[in-house]
Structure 1
């Protein structure tokens, strides 16, 4: 691609924002609505960008748009540029007022119940005017937010090594156990077979998660079908409420029942199911001072949680 095409003044920031929105919404109508512009305006901007680049970025269809190989590649670069601009704005703001700042952290089930709250509490004790924004989501959705610069770091299960785009740093290892409420009919049992658990409702993580795949493999190894009576959920608040109010069984990190006396674990060993909890950062972007401060507290808290 001829470099001057992107530097001749025709490419605007709105084009990059549109690419990000289109890749998330997968439709021009949805992207326009998220950006608070009309559909014709969004369509015209897309045509302008394709003319600037000289390639087709999306395949149009009756159910929306699908990015071409060019669209996927350019979206990655567009998000990187937006992330750097977002970071620059916040960095300058923090330099102007060192006592304040904002750090946005994404989290999923592992690490959200003990590690992150403890680290935030310590951070706020030292810097009370610093704002911490916590966003919950699936690992996949949080990676997109990290790539686009809408969050600074992710705390949760590490399911892959570092790559060119992200850096993953383990903090501690945590096993997974089957959890029920303390008054559950099976809570007093000293021995249980996996088949005995199928008469009860289950909470399973979503199909897009690594833990779900590992649980499916666990059931397959034991010749037991996946529970048919199930809820698929990764929201910690929803999972905890269902556990406390019903007879559901859930596969959860060990620290969750350990920190709540209303919950207990069942005597069923989930071999080969466990994970490292750690920090995921963008490999190409420096953390703000606020982000660095939170990482420092996360490392300090996790040092007391090894091999839980």
Structure 2
């Protein structure tokens, strides 16, 4: 007996499963004559009849039934092989590697990780926090990181990576609860107080400067420069200094410890999760995104439908651009 052609064997399995040449040909994406020829060649290979035709459709012979069992095993192994290759290419299915810059997003990432780990103790996790988002993107392309959760980045920094929208944020003006200007909070009233701001290399100072410009005020001369959102909040909570941060960065303290006012001149911006363009999400990544979405819902933060689609299917929607809006 000559060696069985595996493609013809798999076609036989589809034919037996579907019960007719028409349905099987449609499933396989080939013509009925091509399928008939393939089955005839397979019968020539094994030297026995594999199917019978009747008014009820196609039925396997005892020999066809025997080969059908082997075909199902082969098909199952091929599915497993494909998944294993995807996992090796995208990152181990037993690990989760996440990068995030200092800021409000890391707080949500931390809560999502807690929920994830309570349900998935079998997964090894590595979290990398870095104020330089470009370095995180480099590690993403090097496959050191599976995904990055971060604010908007220039296209040149993404280097072709896919940025998928998570949630919108706005900048808010923040002082401590008992600040002298807490009842009349505005940039103009705070011009004589120290301002805690990020350094130029974090890439967000230009947006903050535009908030001052649109409000008709120069940036204060008394600056406290910090690359840490946590440190900036601690300074504001323990002094009369003020800061401008994203609303999600002040989410936990807003109202109880910090008085925050949304800047009317501030434009909404997106938080994204960023992955390689060819990346197919592993099951742990999808589970983590599910926890991230749950945390956002608990805090009343609407999550973009692109992120929900990715979490569900492991891929971005077909009409979703790889660029940021």
- The TM-score normalised by the length of structure 2 is 0.56
Q: 1:120 to 1:305 in 2, by over 3 A?
A: same
Q: Which residue of 2 aligns with 1:147?
A: 141
For residue 110 of structure 2, the aligned residue among 93, 97, 117 is 117
Task: Give the deviation of 1:168 after TM superposition.
Answer: 0.8
Query: Are the aligned partners of 1:105 and 1:132 in contact in 2 as well (CA < 8 Å)?
Result: no
Q: 1:274 to 1:212 in 2, by over 3 A?
A: farther
Task: Give the deviation of 1:280 after TM superposition.
Answer: 1.0
Does residue 1:104 correspond to 2:98, yes or no?
A: yes
Q: Which residue of 1 aligns with 2:193?
A: 200
Q: Which residue of 1 aligns with 2:225?
A: 232
Q: Which residue of 1 aligns with 2:65?
A: none
Q: Alpha-carbon deviations, 1:18-44, whole Å to 9, x = none?
A: xxxxxxxxxxxxxxxxxxxxxxxxxxx
- Report the Cα distance in structure 1 between the residues aligned to 2:100 and 2:290, rounded to whole angstroms: 16
Does residue 1:178 correspond to 2:187, yes or no?
A: no
Task: Give the deviation of 1:142 after TM superposition.
Answer: 2.0
Q: 1:209 to 1:90 in 2, by over 3 A?
A: closer
1:84-103 aligned within 5 A:
88=88, 91=91, 94=93, 100-103=94-97
Q: 1:173 to 1:104 in 2, by over 3 A?
A: closer
Q: Alpha-carbon deviations, 1:158-191, whole Å to 9, x = none?
A: 245696621111111122101111122222x235
Q: Which residue of 1 aligns with 2:316?
A: none
Query: Are the aligned partners of 2:90 and 2:281 in contact in 1 as well (CA < 8 Å)?
Result: no
Query: Are the aligned partners of 2:99 and 2:136 in contact in 1 as well (CA < 8 Å)?
Result: no
Query: Are the aligned partners of 1:170 and 1:276 in contact in 2 as well (CA < 8 Å)?
Result: yes
How many residues are treated as equivalent by the alignment?
Answer: 212
Does residue 1:219 correspond to 2:215, yes or no?
A: no
Q: Alpha-carbon deviations, 1:232-291, whole Å to 9, x = none?
A: 32323222222222222111122343422211124x724133311121112244444433
Query: Are the aligned partners of 1:108 and 1:139 in contact in 2 as well (CA < 8 Å)?
Result: no
Unpaired segments ≥5 residues, structure 2: 1-86, 304-325
What's the C-alpha RMSD, in Å, of the aligned pairs? 3.0
Determine helix, strand or coil for the equivalent of 2:200: coil
Unpaired segments ≥5 residues, structure 1: 1-86, 95-99
Larger radius of gyration: 2
1:1-308 aligned within 5 A:
88=88, 91=91, 94=93, 100-113=94-107, 115-137=108-130, 138-160=132-154, 165-187=160-182, 189-190=183-184, 192=186, 194-260=187-253, 261-266=256-261, 269-303=263-297, 304-306=300-302
Query: Are the aligned partners of 2:91 and 2:143 in contact in 1 as well (CA < 8 Å)?
Result: no
Query: Are the aligned partners of 1:104 and 1:150 in contact in 2 as well (CA < 8 Å)?
Result: no
Query: Are the aligned partners of 2:99 and 2:128 in contact in 1 as well (CA < 8 Å)?
Result: yes
